Amino acid sequence: MPADSSALAPVVAKLTRRSPLDPVEIDALLALPHRLMDKDAASYLVREGDRALDCVALLSGFAHRSKTTGAGGRQILSIHLRGDLLDLQNGLLARADHSVQALSAVKVAFIPYRAILDLAAAYPAIARALWRDTLVDGSIFREWIVNVGRRDARQRISHLLCELAVRQEAAGLCQAPRYEWPMTQEQIGDATGLTPVHVNRTLQGMRSRGLLSTDKRSVTITNWPKLQAEGDFNRAYLHEPEPLAP
């Protein structure tokens, strides 16, 4: 199969951004068996408690992971975009400990874990690339713990937006200063541990201080340095290659 004709190309693009792979390894990844599907916004890709057999690869659109508390509160754990492997953990762990849900309309590939694990066993470099991807995920989770644990509302929302902006740029998905922000204010609240009402008021403050302007599901960052400062944002935790000097 010619490399760029495989639907899995975005996944390989993301992995090779951080882990160099040989052509033979790339071809092996692109040739992974998979089922393609289109899903509407808000549809579930994995449900907490599932015993999944397939790993979900996000080929276009946005998705999020979330957990629900006993009291019914929802906490969004991470946001995902094109090329991300969601749910790698369910191949090695018994049961999905969280849900994965589409934020926008998405195109996904379901890949059998068996095939992924076999590939990892056959190619140490692929095992390493997947492991590294998991480690970066972990780094992002840690930063989110800091975000909801030690920052106030302004900082939390600013930080979330900075992360999405940097990741979209790293994935070549957008042109600064305008980014997609496919979340409702309620979802922003679920990601930052705030109520939608307070998100609304905080966003109004940010707009009036000239940090950004919003338009439907997209945002224009009108003062990037200030937004970054306000969000206490340092991109190191994303472990993305630095962008070229402007």
Partner DNA sequence: CGAACTTTTGACAAGCATCAACACGTGTGG
Partner DNA sequence: CCACACGTGTTGATGCTTGTCAAAAGTTCG
Interface with DNA (CB under 7 A): 152-154, 184-186, 193-198, 200-204, 216
Tokens of 123: 């190619």
Please state the closest distance from residue 106 (CB atom) to DNA, in A: 15
CA distance 3 to 31: 9
Count of beta carbons in the 10 Å neighbourhood of residue 132 = 14
Q: Which is nearer to DNA, 116 or 183 (CB)?
A: 183
- Provide, rounded to whole angstroms, the least separation between the CB of residue 22 and a copy of itself: 14
In whole angstroms, how close is the CB of 80 to DNA at the nearest point? 18
Task: Identify how many contiguous H helices and E strands the chain contains and give both numbers.
Answer: 8, 11
* The CA-based dihedral angle spanning residues 72, 66, 97, 121, taken in that order and rounded to the nearest 10 degrees: 180
* Rounded-to-integer distance, Cα 166 and Cα 227, Å: 12
Query: Whose Cβ is closer to a copy of itself: residue 6's or residue 65's?
Result: 65
Per DSSP, the three-state class of 19 is: coil
Tokens, residue 144: 């989110």
Q: Does 20 bind a copy of itself (CB under 8 A)?
A: no
Q: Which listed option, DNA, a copy of itself, none, makes contact with residue 153 (CB within 5 to 8 Å by class)?
A: DNA
Q: Is 132 in the site for a copy of itself (CB under 8 A)?
A: yes
Which phi-psi region, left, alpha or beta, contains residue 216 (left: φ > 0; alpha: ψ -120 to 50)? left
Min dist CB 144 to DNA, Å, is: 16
The interface partner of residue 198, options being a copy of itself, DNA, none and the CB cut-off 5 to 8 Å by kind, is DNA
Q: Which residues contact 173 (CB under 8 A, 6 or more apart)?
A: 81, 82, 180
Binds a copy of itself (CB under 8 A): choice among 33, 138, 172, 243: 138
For a copy of itself, the closer CB: 146 or 176: 146
Q: How many CA atoms lie within 13 A of 173 on its CB side?
A: 23
Write out the residues near a copy of itself by the rule CB under 8 A. Answer: 65, 67, 69-71, 73-75, 77, 88-89, 92-95, 97-98, 117, 120-121, 124, 127-128, 130-132, 134-139, 141-146, 148-151, 192-193, 232, 236-237, 239
